[in-house]
Amino acid sequence: MRSAITLGLVMVAMTACGGEDVSRVLGARCEVTAECEDRCLVPSDDFPDGFCTADCSSIEDCPSSSDCIDKEGGVCLFVCADDVDCDFLGPRWVCNEENLRADPNTKVRVCRGD
């Protein structure tokens, strides 16, 4: 029970940092997939501190405020207009162009590591 309360407080604190719904579904920090609902993109230059996400083949597979990117076999990442939109994820997150999974010729802006 104590770990559930601690996890809940961490989730509330993370959500309070930004306007997005950071959760084990999308955006929470992780080191292994067991810490996420679907998948963990382990800590790397592209995903500082790790990133919980969902596998996808189109936007319909992703939570709101995210898009399906043609990276890592298709993953959901938060959409953004500029770097400020990614601040809630941490200091090393920026807004970059990536290819859509459903149409690799189309680029969208999403939060990922710098």
Classify residue 42 by its DSSP letter: -
What is the pairing mode between strands 93-99 and 107-113? antiparallel
State the virtual CA torsion across 43, 13, 66, 31 in degrees, nearest 10.
Answer: 20
Task: For the chain, 114 residues long, give each residue's pLDDT as a single digit of tens.
Answer: 444 433 443 333 333 334 457 999 999 999 999 999 999 999 999 999 999 999 999 999 999 999 999 999 999 999 999 999 999 999 999 999 999 999 999 999 999 998
What is the chain's length? 114
**Amino acid at position 90, single letter:** G
